A and B are shown apart, each in its own frame.
Chain A
Amino acid sequence: MSQHSDSTSDSHGGDDHDHDIAAHVRTYLIIFGALLIGTVLTVAMYYVDFSSMALTVAIALFIASIKAFLVAGYFMHLLSEKKLVYGVLVLSAIFFVGLMGLTLWGSNDLPRNSTTKTLYVP
């Protein structure tokens, strides 16, 4: 990825600049196609019986993560951002991972696989 994030470096116009953006537009369209394929793939996985819920969840989240990477990396220009943005996101990532870690840790304390069979009556 080149220098497109310096959006204010010069006034709009100039042939080189236009050429640069035109190349980006092609990238955006390729990513668009990839995202649609990813969506079809996600739905296709639903109809495959992996016989393990953990594996099913892992595959679905793996595909979603790739799609998320494409959106964040290219549409949001994160692959060529300034340091401060990365700094903010690293903090966010630490807290997010912490939150999910606590969630998984805490879920072991819950009465999962309880032998009491409950018939739910709303």
Chain B
Amino acid sequence: MEIPYTYKPRPDTGLYNAKVGIWLFLASEIMLFGALFSAYILLRVSAPVGFWPDVGLAWPRGLLNIPIGTFNTAVLITSSVTVVLAWASLKMNNFARFRVYMVITVLCAFAFLGIKSFEYNDKFSHYVIRLQDGKALTGHIEVDGKHPRFWNFSDQWSVAKLADQKVTKIKVEVDPERDMNGHVKAHGSHDHEVREVAVSDIVSLSSYTPATHPFFAVYFLITALHGLHVLGGALVLGYFAFPGAKMWKSNPEQFINRIEVGGLFWHFVDLVWIFLFPVVYLL
């Protein structure tokens, strides 16, 4: 059975079916991410005084790694332009160039995910430590000469667990001090001071996980969902670049449409990041 309008536009709407489909899907995606951004706003404005931003730590503005985030933004923008250039190459009947652009797009997608997991690892092994004297500090910690890593959940430390394992002292690579705008204070320079902290002086200690602060909860939720979109998009575009490309021989018009629809999804993923980047990294 042949489905009508799979590649010919319907006479009444002027659109082929898949294009209507992708736009309906993207409309629902706008609401999905919109709801999560709304959650971010409510968590932020309803936070008790001294909590977001945090008085002791000038949290969480500027907490994420801005140079890495900027680089990742550029990677995603590059992949967005290459996917539209891939589509344009097909329109100009240049399959070889199409494939080059698609490969660049997929490589950019995996580069983005690789950089993001590097950031995730850094956060899961980064700790906030509240001390008895009311002060707070942040940094990577060293317990018994070992740096905890995120892929090993037994490496996640808490005060109770430190006491349990009879650890009396930990080393903290203290982060440079920040002002209330989240900017690193000038005198702090870049070298990390390593300080020894007695476990008996610590009120609480937790890594940058969702439970530590609502910022992390919403940050991990939205960026992970966005990351899944990047992964899904990369798989589909990768499929079109190689096994799915045989359709170029059998039905070129439908194949061009597929690339256009896949590209529309990919641009949407880029669009979400355009808002996500300033919201979680810069504001």
Contact = CB atoms under 8 A, between A and B. Distances in A.
Contact of A84 (B20, B30, B41): B20
A22 B260 CA distance: 17
Given A8-B16, A96-B34, A120 B88 contact: no
A4 to B, nearest CB: 8
Given A13-B93, A28-B85, A39-B70, A57 B46 contact: no
Interface string B1-29: 00000011100011110011001100100
B277 interface: yes
Interface residues of A, number: 70
B81 A29 contact: yes
Contacts of B51: 118, 120
A113 to B, nearest CB: 7
A96 B283 contact: no
Chain B interface residue bracket vs A: 35 or more
A62 to B, nearest CB: 10
Interface stretch (B110-118, B138-146, B163-171, B251-259): B251-259
Given A68-B274, A122-B206, A122-B211, A8 B15 contact: no
Nearest to B90: A12
A47 to B, nearest CB: 7
B212 interface: yes
B274 A95 contact: no
Contacts of A113: 49
Interface string B124-141: 000010100010000000
Interface of A: 4, 6-8, 11-13, 17-18, 21-22, 24-25, 28-29, 31-32, 35-36, 39-40, 42-43, 45-47, 49, 53, 56-57, 60-61, 63-64, 67-68, 71-72, 75-76, 82-85, 88-89, 91-92, 95-96, 99-100, 102-104, 106-107, 110-122
Given A68-B271, A85-B20, A118-B51, 5 more contacts: A24-B88, A32-B81, A42-B282, A61-B278, A107-B42
Interface of B: 7-9, 13-16, 19-20, 23-24, 27, 30-31, 34-35, 37-38, 41-42, 45-46, 48-51, 54, 62, 66, 70, 73-74, 77-78, 80-81, 84-85, 88, 90-93, 128, 130, 134, 181, 183, 203-204, 206, 211-213, 252-253, 256-257, 260, 263-264, 267-268, 270-271, 274-275, 277-279, 282-283
